[in-house]
Amino acid sequence: MAASLLSLIITIIICCNVTAAAPNQPGGGFSVHLIHRDSATSPLYNPNETPTQRLGSALKRSINRLHRFAPKSTSSSSLPYSDVTASNGEYLMNISIGTPPFPILAVADTGSDVVWTQCKPCSSCYDQDAPIFDPAASSSYKTVPCSSNACSSLQAEGAYCSSSADAVCHYKVGYGDRSHTYGDLALDTLTMGSTAGRDVAFPKTLIGCGHDNAGTFNRNGSGLVGLGRGSASLVTQLGSSIGGKFSYCLVPFGSENRLTSSMNFGQNAVVSGAVSTPLFSHVSQPTFYFLKLEAVTVGKERLAFGGSSVVDGEEGNIIIDSGTTVTLVPSDFFAQLSDAVDSQVVGGEKARDPQDFLSLCYVADYSRLQVPPITFHFQGADVELTRDNAFVQVSDTVTCLAFYGSDDASIYGNVAQQNFLIGYDLQKGTVSFKPTDCARN
């Protein structure tokens, strides 16, 4: 079971193995494969790392990622600046940009919006293994002018014009780990493959053509694809072609490291027989998917959730994010939750996390550790976690509660989402949960 640690971070590889409807068929569906970041099939796989080392890296990425979700203070700078956190390769997405299609391997991120890739000419680009996109070679590439409505309406995504004489709309995105990308906003054709033997093209997709990109980006990737709720994200831009629907099913990473998860769009993303909860938006954080968590029940003890978890006084007090590892809750609530869990665990002795990250841990045979059922009571939807959703094995002998106390933001992480088919319907404004054996679906 030590290998189950690897389920903490998922990597999406979207390749040509896709079934799709043409974009002129509203709501048409297609599906893609999700491959664990640390799977032997992932380009980021390091065979020299141990499971414990991979877990340590995953936990560090979660803390770096947390910086993005904390409410931002108003900057005194007159230059629009979109501040998010680099994903460090949590997900990878194979798409093509331009005419003829130019293959791009980019980080996919549900917590940001801009779709960007490194572009020639590079004034300052990080090293990448694949060739760099040359916009001059694409017949469908067109820069966005400063005079356009698109430029003025995308300031939240980092769009700006530095002067009245500037003809091309630029973008600037900074990341919590001090990585950044600067460049031109443009429209070009985004293409995905199809198992039907034909490509599915989405013309006039807004992209960032990055000429200055630096930081912790992995050389296996060529940029980033934003899948958040903002107007520049890929999900929003696909709009009616996917009916505002997408879903995913994350496979727990165990002994078989080549199992794939799935991500679905359009009609393929409809989740039937599920419980659903409303989606909420925050004016100050429009990118993120907020849910309203009312309580968490541990065994028979119900713990009300609220107070310090509410952001900006708006409804919606927890972000659901597939790129964050553990579930983050306010420190005061975490203390209550830990006490409730600890009082009901049987078959283990208290221990210290070797990584010094998770605080409630036990020395125990994982298969014999008896833990209480934990149920998340979202508005209108009760989601009962299995042991694998609530605990992670951090070494051969130590198992820890996969929750972390944080007063910056509350996030429902991907460990809690494993083996659930989770569907987003942006038209209805709901998220649905259905227990599913993701390895078989």
Domains of the chain (ranges; CATH) run 2-262 (2.40.70.10), 271-440 (2.40.70.10)
Kindly tell me if the per-residue pLDDT of 64 is higher than 50: yes
Mean pLDDT throughout 418-433? 95
Question: Would you place residue 219 in the very low, low, confident or very high pLDDT band (cuts 50, 70, 90)?
Answer: confident
Whether the pLDDT of residue 231 is over 70: the answer is yes
Pairing mode of beta strands 102-109, 411-412: unpaired
In terms of Cβ atoms closer than 10 Å to its own Cβ (0-12, 13-18, 19+), residue 65 is buried
Active site residue 212: no
Does residue 214 or residue 30 have the better pLDDT?
214
Please confirm, yes or no, whether 109 is among the known catalytic residues: yes
For a pLDDT cut of 70, what percent of the chain falls above it? 74
Burial of 3 (0-12, 13-18, 19+ CB in 10 A): middle
Beta carbons of 37 and 89 less than 8 angstroms apart: yes
- Pairing label, strands 318-320, 411-412: parallel
Contact 38, 255 (CB under 8 A): no
Weakest mean pLDDT among 33-47, 119-133, 216-230, 240-254: 33-47
Residue 345 CB partners (closer than 8 Å, separation 6+): 362, 369, 370, 371, 372
Nearest to 110 by CA among 333, 279, 258: 279
> Out of 184, 188, 321, 388, which one is annotated catalytic?
321
Please check whether residue 115 is in contact with residue 192, taking contact to mean a CB–CB distance below 8 angstroms: no
Distances (CA, A) of 438 to 62, 179, 215, 316, 350: 23, 34, 34, 28, 32
Q: What is the mean pLDDT of residues 369-377?
A: 96
Given the residues 109, 113, 184, 353, the one annotated as active site? 109
